[in-house]
Structure 1
Amino acid sequence: MNEVCKVVFGLAGGLALFLYGMNSMSDALQKAAGEKMKKILEFLTKNPIMGVLAGALVTAVLQSSSATTVMVIGFVSAGLMSLPQAISVIFGANIGTTMTAQLMAFKITDYIYPIIFVGFMLYFASKKEKVKNVGLVIFSFGLLFEGIEIMGSVMKPLANSPIFVELMAKVSDIPVLGVLLGAVMTLVVQSSSATIAVLQNFASQPGPDGVTSVIGLAGAIPILFGDNIGTTITALLASIGQSKNAKRTALAHSIFNITGSIVFLFLIPVLAKFVQFISPKGPEVEVISRQIANAHTTFNVVCTLVWLPLIPVMVKIVTTIVRGDDTKKVHSYEPQYLDDKMINQPIPAMYMVSNEINRIATSTEKMLKILKEIVSGDNKEEIKSLFKKHHDAVKTLQDAIVTYISKLFTGGALTEVQAERVAGYLAIANNIDRIADRCGDVVDIYERIGTSEKILSDQAKEELAQCVTIAEELFEQAITAVATDNVDQAEQVIQDKKRMRKAQKKSTKKHLERLQEKQCDPELTRAYSGILLNLDRVADNCTGIAEEALDRVTYVRFDTEENAQQNAIAANA
């Protein structure tokens, strides 16, 4: 195999190992963080400074600014986050992604194999999920550095190639070429962390004198800027087909990196001197990796500090470029929050499912209210049509929720605790679906009564309406218990289930008395009993939901009061 092939395959293999290690470490970090991710994400909906902090922390866990940006775009598209909030998180994500470069700058060549061994033993030998996840983080961390080491070893011959040295000299003299090179590299690899790791390794190769870097800090900085620009393409692609605010969020990410790169292109000597001042001292080939990491961090921190007070200006810019309002209206039977891009990010995905379950719960509450009108004798076509609309919405959305939850399980990113919680969501959605079926059965029975031209007595209608009221109250209490993690209220639902049984027995007794007094048609007994039976089953389903609340299955929430009100409005639309 000739030298060119060795270099190409070595780079490809090392890069593959690096990307695998980074993705595996990201998944393991998410699992190890578990519910702590929720606390981090709670900052998302607070003030801009907290948004920046949250963006940085989330990106440090996900090991990818692109993953954070895609998540934020999903939130904005679903109406769970405002544009200014999203932009602040994007700023933070740009800072968080520099942590990977800082890690890469550590010289741990002699410790790579012990790290891999320790991580593997923890993962392989432990029975506890948390320890296994920590072991996988360590193991993946070792693989990541092994990938870097491989890339570094195969790039050594390039440092002595006259052609390559001349090319690097051109990049150093013409910064724009470096920006283009970095952008193209990131577009191909789809990971700025990977291309920056390659840059750090290559820059660590000595030039002809054996002391200075083959490219130098001034030559590496423009490539670094290109890496930052290239990573914004992922966000732009993720925004295709999304809402206008989602497109604006992705555009803000691009503007942030492009404007920063343009300004800093004229300040490369100043940035280089500052970075050299704050970085460790020593031969350039030994410290340049850390210098590149510090340049990356400095660039993003300075850009964030400049843009943070100018978020309203950024909003104005992106709304001017992407004009118009979000005219697309989400129909009641269309999923509004579920986003397949979140499947590998459990907490955000569970947040989406929570909001979608809240939607079908809202539709079910409306169904029960309409059902009370129907059993009370209101048989207007518009009432029946409205009932059918909410019934169809629940059925369609429940199918979407079940499909999404199935994808969450097959995605393999859930911890045991999260898997139990998601299984609880499935049980809640199924119980709501059955309630919709029971209500539909009641309406069908009323349709049959209407076609038979027989009429229930006013007293019978009143008794049935009272039973529907009980079902309505039980359902509202059960859903509230889940939403607020209220165990006492859940226990109350189970106790109050007896109210339905008592009402059912009382109504049946009254109906038989009316039959004896010939006040009611005997042929309606089956229909009347069928309605009571279905309402009793609705109560059973309400207790099923309450039992999930007793098992501490609750919604994932990290929105502010303002967003909660917006979500309520969206759910009622």
Structure 2
Amino acid sequence: MSMEDIQMLIKFLGGLGIFLYGMDRMGDGLQKSAGHKMQQLLGALTDNPVMGILLGTGVTAIILSSNATTIMVVGFVNAGILNLSQAVGIIMGANIGTTVTSWIVSMNEWGEMLKPEFFSPILVFSGALIRYLSRNGKAKQVGEILVGFGLLFVGLGFMSETIASYHSNEAFLSVFTFLGKNPLLGVAAGLFVTVLIQSSSVSVGVLQVLALNGMIGWQCAVFINLGQNIGSCAAALRSSTGANRTAKRAAVIHLLFNAIGAILFGTVMAVLFWLNPDLAVSPITSVGISIFHTAFNVINTILLFPFAGFLVKASGILIREDASASKCCKDSKDEMKRHLDSRILDTPSFAIESVTHEVVNMGYAALKNFDLAALVLLEDNKSDAIKVKKMEQMIDDYEKILTDYLIKISNQSLNEEQHLLVKNLFYTISDFERISDHCENLSELALEKSRRSIVFSEDADRELHEMFHSVRSSLEHSIKARASSDMSEVRAVVRSEELVDNLEEEFRERHITRLASQSCKPENGVIYLDTLNNLERISDHAHNIAGFVRDEV
């Protein structure tokens, strides 16, 4: 290999790196811009496969990576957020969505003004200017998209210049001629390159660069592209390692879908090229690759959509039940860890939605602990004190798990709204943990009351029942506010908090009056006042949680 060849190889690899980085920046910017809408997409998940296809197409078009979408699907299935029926539709849609990148790459065949050398420097300059001069978060995201878009074409230009120098190289051309005459080798080459690069979008882009320079024919391009579609399954298969059986089946469904499609299309195209040899060797354009790539994924989806149930059953045959690993984990801590799957982190919008759901579950655990503490104190159920302590330990574990996951999310690329939400979730889990601490305090006060044979007066007992009821209302509304971001729930918390503050002040004054009239013993009063204080603090924490929601809306 000559020094010139080495320089060309370095230039090509540099162009490939810029192309990859540009696509990543562009997808990241698009994802940030669509952050809240991406979160709302989770609400669209139903058992309707058509909705799944639309969702998979939309998400992949936004993040510019079918790999990321299918890995995310494996994560959701592993976490129990998605079932296999929902996953099938999203996987089919992801294959359609990934064609967006090929159409972006083929833009430079649409006209002179769309050639990379003309507009990519303008995009990079204007995007960088917006990115670094603007103080507006949305504008910065637009700048990031423009920079990524421009860099994508800069990298494409580098690769195209390198390939162009080998336009008439006999050895180089003979390789593609050989692959064109051997369909199975063409498929194998496409599969190998895609697995190596770990991105079907990028490998299709490289194929389009070859087409831009008139170096490959239709037959060669078609079979390489079919291999690229099969190779796109590698990331999901690799990601499913260590996941549960159902998640592995989701990855296998992706492989079956693309492999069956490649066999069907490969057979049809082989017959077509046999009948029309001139078409087989005629040069293909970058747009031609985009058309075929899109046609393959759309038609394959239409053909296999009615057989989604068959794909699910076939995956069950290939991935059989493992008796030792199939036992459902009953430990809620382990269940939470399973739901907070690391595979989802690459799409922060969905990771935030998933962790928010688990924060709400932590809130309901704190509410359950509150009810247990009420039974211990108000009904003298001493046996429930042990349950309160166990629940408090479990909520402490929740706090550690959720905090670790939120730290991982905060290290991802987030927009301003997502940063605020993650910060508020940190504070929220801390408030729920403190609420559980106060529940344990209430349980311990109840045990102290029992040990000292303290009996509250009828008035004091009635006041505590009223106080517990009002505080519970405040806590329950705060959890609902966090779950739904509903301002009516936030206002309900504010009203409950005001009522609790007023009751606490009123009941303290009544207690002082009872002490003065000697209708209440001083030692009883200590337990009573400490109970009021803990209840008031629980309501304060509930008010904090509602306040975070109010700041986000």
TM above 0.5: yes
RMSD, aligned CA: 2.8
- The sequence identity of aligned pairs, in percent, is 31
Query: Equivalences for 1:195-234 in 2 at 5 Å?
Result: 195-205=203-213, 213-234=214-235
Instruction: Name the residue aligned to 1:425.
Output: 425
2-side partners of 1:436 and 1:273: how far apart? Answer: 73
The aligned runs of 1:48-67 (5 Å cut-off) are: 48-67=49-68
- 1:338 match: 340
Equivalent pairs counted in the alignment come to: 538
1:26-45 aligned within 5 A? 26-45=27-46
Corresponding residue number in structure 2 for 1:570: none
> 3-state SS of the aligned residue for 1:160?
coil
Instruction: State which of 147, 154, 163 in structure 2 corresponds to 1:146.
Output: 154
Deviation of 1:122 after TM superposition, in Å, equals: 2.7
Match of 2:128 among 115, 120, 127: 120
Measure, in 1, the Cα distance between the counterparts of 2:457 and 2:307. Answer: 66
Describe the superposition over 1:117-151 as per-residue Cα deviations: whole angstroms up to 9, x where unpaired: 23223323333222222122122111111111211
Q: For residues 338-417 of structure 1, what are the structure 2 equivalents within 5 Å?
A: 338-381=340-383, 383-411=384-412, 413-417=413-417
User: 1: distance between equivalents of 2:139 and 2:277?
Assistant: 40
Amino acid at match of 2:100: M
Which residue pairs with 1:311 in the alignment? 308
Give 1:62 deviation, angstroms: 0.4
2:103–2:287: 8 Å Cα contact kept in structure 1? yes
- Residue 135 (structure 1) aligned with residue 143 (structure 2): yes
Equivalent in the alignment of 2:440: 440
Q: Which moved more, 1:233-242 or 1:18-27?
A: 233-242
* The 10-residue stretch of structure 1 (485-494 or 536-545) with the greater mean CA deviation from structure 2: 485-494
Work out whether residues 187 and 230 of structure 1, in 8 Å CA contact, stay in contact via their aligned partners in 2: yes
Match of 2:163 among 152, 155, 171: 155
1:227-250, Cα deviation, whole Å (9 max, x unpaired)? 111111110121222222211111
Q: Which residue is equivalent to 1:571?
A: none
Relative to structure 1, the CA distance from residue 156 to residue 346 in structure 2 (aligned partners, 3 Å threshold; closer, same or farther) is: same
The alpha carbon displacement at 1:434 in A equals 1.4
Q: 1:513 to 1:126 in 2, by over 3 A?
A: closer
1:258 deviates by 1.1
Structure-2 separation of matches of 1:380 and 1:444: 10
Cα contact 2:78–2:341 (8 A) shared by 1: no
Judged with a 3 Å threshold, the aligned counterparts in structure 2 of structure 1 residues 294 and 432 are, in CA distance, closer, same or farther, namely: same
Pair 1:477-2:477 in alignment: yes
In structure 1, C-alpha distance between the alignment counterparts of 2:426 and 2:526, rounded to whole Å: 33
5+ long unaligned stretches in structure 2: 109-114
Residue pair 1:474, 1:539 contacting (<8 A) in 2 also = yes
Following the alignment from structure 1 to structure 2, what is the Cα–Cα distance between the partners of residues 344 and 284? 41
Shift of 1:156: 3.0
8 Å CA contact 2:219, 2:273 repeated in 1? yes
Trace 1:194-273 onto structure 2 (pairs within 5 A). Answer: 194-205=202-213, 213-269=214-270
* TM-score normalized with structure 1 length: 0.87
Whether the aligned pair in 2 keeps the contact of 1:58 and 1:96 (CA below 8 Å) is yes
Distance 1:275 1:14, change over 3 A: farther
**Could you say if the C-alpha distance between residues 513 and 493 of structure 1 is closer, same or farther in structure 2, counting changes exceeding 3 Å?**
same
Compared with structure 1, are the counterparts of its residues 39 and 431 closer, same or farther at alpha carbon in structure 2 (3 Å cutoff)?
closer
CA distance in 1, matches of 2:434, 2:55: 39
1:329 corresponds to which residue?
329
Greater alpha carbon shift after TM alignment, 179-188 vs 333-342:
333-342
Distance 1:116 1:271, change over 3 A: farther
Query: What letter corresponds to residue 493 of structure 1 in structure 2?
Result: V
Could you tell me which runs of 5 or more consecutive residues in structure 1 were left unpaired when the two chains were aligned: 206-212, 554-573
**Which residues in structure 2 correspond to 1:48-127 (within 5 Å)?**
48-107=49-108, 108-111=115-118, 112-127=120-135
Q: In the alignment, what sits opposite 1:568?
A: none
Indicate the SS of the match to 2:333: coil
How far apart are 1:457 and its partner, in Å?
3.4
Q: Counterpart in 1 of 2:317?
A: 320
Deviation at 1:18, TM superposition (A): 0.7
Distance 1:272 1:152, change over 3 A: farther
Residues 69-105 of structure 1: CA deviation (Å, up to 9, x unaligned): 1222222222222211111000000011011111111
SS of the residue corresponding to residue 242 of structure 2 reads: coil
Secondary structure, counterpart of 2:285 in structure 1 = helix
2:288 & 2:454 partners in 1: Cα distance? 86
2: distance between equivalents of 1:394 and 1:388? Answer: 10
Give the Cα–Cα distance (whole angstroms) in 2 for the partners of residues 538 and 59 of structure 1: 43
Indicate the residue corresponding to 2:536 in structure 1: 536
**1:158-177 maps to which residues of 2 (within 5 A)?**
158-177=166-185
